[in-house]
Amino acid sequence: MNRVFRFIGGVFVAFWRGLDTARRIVINLVFLALVILVLGLLFPRAPQVPDGSALVLRPAGTLVEEQTLDDPLSLLRAGQVPAAEASMGELLEAIDAARQDPRIKALVLETDDLQQAGVAKLAELRAALQDFKASGKPVYARGERFTQGQYYLASVASEVHLAPDGFVLLQGLARYVTYFKGALDKLGVKVHVFRVGEYKSFSEPFTREDMSEKDREATRDLLEALWNRIRDDVADSRPKAAPHLGEYINAYPAVLEKVGGDPSRAALEAALVDRLTTRDEWRDYLREHVGANGDGKEYRRVSLANYLGAVRAEREHEPDKVAVLVAQGAIVDGIGGPGTVGGDSFARLIREAREDERVKALVIRIDSPGGSAWASEVIRRELEVTREAGKPVIASMSSVAASGGYWIATGAEKIWAAPSTLTGSIGIFAMFPVLAEPLDRLGLSVDGVATAPLAGAFDPRRPLPPTAEATLEQGIEFGYRRFLQVVAQARGMTPAEVNTVAQGRVWTGEAAAKLGLVDELGGLEEAVVAAAERAGLERYEVVWPRAGLPPVERLLRSVAETAAGTLAPAAGTDAPLARALGALRAEVEELMRLNDPGHIYAHCLCGAP
C-alpha cells in the first residue's frame, strides 16, 4: 500500500513540476511577446513595398478626419475595445502616393467593414480613386454586400465584384430628427430658446414636436442636391447602369420580382456590378490580374499601414512642413475631450504650429457642425494671428463645416470646400433649461436672497426671470451681428450682404461657392498644395499635429488596442434597435457638450448624411 501511495505521490509531483514548468514557459513567452511589441512600437522598422504590388484598402468603422484618442488606462480597466475608425487623411495620402509610385500596380478596395461616412468624404475619396485610375492603374472593388455609402465609393472602380448571395442597396437620403418637447413637457422641464436666423433649427427638437416648414424646406433642398450628386457620380462611373438607376431605386420590389427575388442577380443585370464572385474566386481573380506573391498562394499586395510606413520613412527628412490641424466634432469651451474641438486646446495647437520654424504653412481641416460661439472666436483669432505672423493659413472643409465650423474657417485666407460639404448656417441661438417644475413635483423648493437682479438668475432650479431673458436676448442679437461682421470682413462683403445668405441656412459647398462664402471647390490634397504654393514650397512633408496623449499613454493605448484586436466585433453588425438607441444617445451627448460660458451657440442641426 505504501508503494502505491508513493507511486501516486511521485506521479502527482512529476505532474505538478511539469505543469509549473509549462506555466513558466507560457508566462515567459507572453512576456517576450510583450517586449517585442513594445520594442516594435518604440523602434518601428520601415516596411518594404514589393515591386508590382496592389495597395489594399479595407476601411473599417466610421470614416473620420482624425481618429479619436481614448484614455488607454480606462480602456484597460473597463476591458473595452476602441470603436473602429478609418482615417480620411491616411487613405488620401496613400492613394495619392500610390498613384505616383511605380512599385504599385493596382489598388484593391474592399468595403465590407466601412460603416458610416458623410457624402462629402466619400466623394473626395472617389475623386482620389479616379485620379489613381487616370494614371493608367486599375482599381478592383468587391463587397459581400453593398450599402449605399459602400457602393457609392466602390462604383468608381474599374471592376466591381459582388458576392453571389449579396445585394446592392440604393435607398436615397433621409433626415429624421428626434423631438424632445413632448418628453420635456411631461417632465415639466421648460427650455428657454432665443435665436437669430430664420433657418436656425438646432433648437427645434427642444421646442417643437415636429419639423418646421422652414427646416423641412431647407432640408429637402440639401438632400436633393446631395442625392442628385450621388446619382450623377454613379451614372458617370457606371454608364451601362445609368438607364437602370431610376427603376432600381424607385421600384426595387418590381426589379427583384423580375429576377425571382435574387438581389445579386438584380444588381448584375442593372450593370451596377461586373461579376458575382465568392471569396476564393475573388482571390484567384486578383492573383491572375495583379500577380502572385513568392509562394504563389496569394496575390502580391501591401496593406495601408505598411505602405504609409514605407512612404513616410522615405520622405521624413524633408526640412519644410505643411501642418494639417483637424477640427473634428462639436466646438466646446476649454480643453475638450475625445471627439470635440476644445477652444483653448485647439488654439494652443495652432500657436505651437505657428511657433515651429519647420512649419511653413497651415491647413485647417474642419469637420464640425459648430458649438460654442466663444470657443469658435478664440480659434478664429488664433488663425488670424498666425496669418499676421506671415504663415499662410488655408481652410479645408470636410463633410460639415457649418455655423461655428464656418466661423473658424473665416480665420483662413482661402476656404476650400467639397461640392457636397454642408456649410453656412450663419446664425446664433441661446438655450437655457429650467428645472423648477420637476423639482416642485418632487416636493423640493428653492429659496434664498440675492444682492442684485442677476445674482442667481441663471440657476436652473428657479424660473428664468425677465432680467435674465433680456440679457440672453440681447446677447444673441449682438452675437449674430458679430458673426455677420466676422464673415463680412473675411469675405469682402457688407454685413447686409452676408445677412441675405445667412439666417442660419445651411448650404452645400457648391452653392456656398456661388454665394461667395467659399473660394474654391476641392478636397484636402488641393488645399495642402495651395498652402504649399502660398509658402513657396516645392518639396515638403505633410504633418498632422494633434493635442494628444503623452508618449507613455500613447504606448499603453497601442498595447491595449493590440491586445484587444482579436476581441473587436465585426464592423457593420449592429442590430437596428442598437443603432437607433445609439443615435438617440449621440443626440443627448451632443446636447450635454454645450458649455459656452454665455450660453450662446453657433451650431447647426446638420450632421452629414
Mean pLDDT throughout 599-607? 60
**Residue 195, beta-bridge partner list:** 429
Q: Higher pLDDT residue, 150 or 429?
A: 150
pLDDT one-digit tens code per residue, 522-557: 999 999 999 999 999 998 999 999 865 444 444 544
Which of the following is catalytic: 264, 403, 420, 425? Answer: 403
Architecture of domain 53-168+273-309: Alpha-Beta Complex (3.90)
The yes-or-no verdict on residue 33 having pLDDT over 80 is no
Chain segment 562-599, per-residue pLDDT in tens:
443 433 444 444 555 455 545 555 555 555 556 666 55
Using a pLDDT cut of 90, give the percent of the chain over it. 54
Domain boundaries, given as residue ranges, for the chain = 53-168+273-309, 317-442+457-570
Q: What is the pLDDT of residue 607?
A: 61
Contact 228, 454 (CB under 8 A): no
- Which pLDDT value is given to residue 577? 47
Q: For 60-124, give the DSSP string.
A: -EEEESS-----HHHHHHHT--PPPEEEHHHHHHHHHHHHH-TTEEEEEEE-TTEEE--HHHHHH
Give 203's pLDDT tier (boundaries 50, 70, 90). confident
Q: Report pLDDT digits (tens) over 457-484.
A: 888 898 989 988 888 888 888 888 999 9
Mean pLDDT of 150-170: 97
Residue 30 has pLDDT above 70, yes or no: no
C-alpha to C-alpha distance for 593 and 574, rounded to whole angstroms: 25
Q: What is the mean pLDDT of residues 378-382?
A: 97
The whole-number pLDDT of residue 438 equals: 86
pLDDT tens-place string over residues 386-430: 999 999 999 999 999 999 999 999 999 999 999 999 999 998 877
Query: Mean pLDDT, to the nearest integer, of 181-195?
Result: 83
Helix (H, G, I), strand (E, B) or coil at 307: helix
Which is the catalytic residue, given 105, 121, 190, 200?
200
Let me know if 396 is a catalytic residue: no
What are the contacts of 78-84 at 24+ separation with CB within 8 A?
A: 79/564, 80/564, 81/564, 81/567, 81/568, 81/569, 82/560, 82/561, 82/564, 84/60, 84/113, 84/115, 84/568, 84/571
- Tell me if residue 200 is catalytic: yes
Which of 586, 550, 518 is CA-nearest to residue 72? 550
pLDDT for position 244: 95
How crowded is residue 430: how many other Cβ atoms within 10 Å of its Cβ? 23
Residues 6+ apart with CB under 8 A from 463: 434, 436
pLDDT band at 102; cut points 50, 70, 90: very high
Residue 318 has pLDDT above 90, yes or no: no
CATH superfamily of the 317-442+457-570 domain: 2-enoyl-CoA Hydratase; Chain A, domain 1 (3.90.226.10)
Which range has highest mean pLDDT (7-11, 18-22, 249-253, 290-294)? 249-253
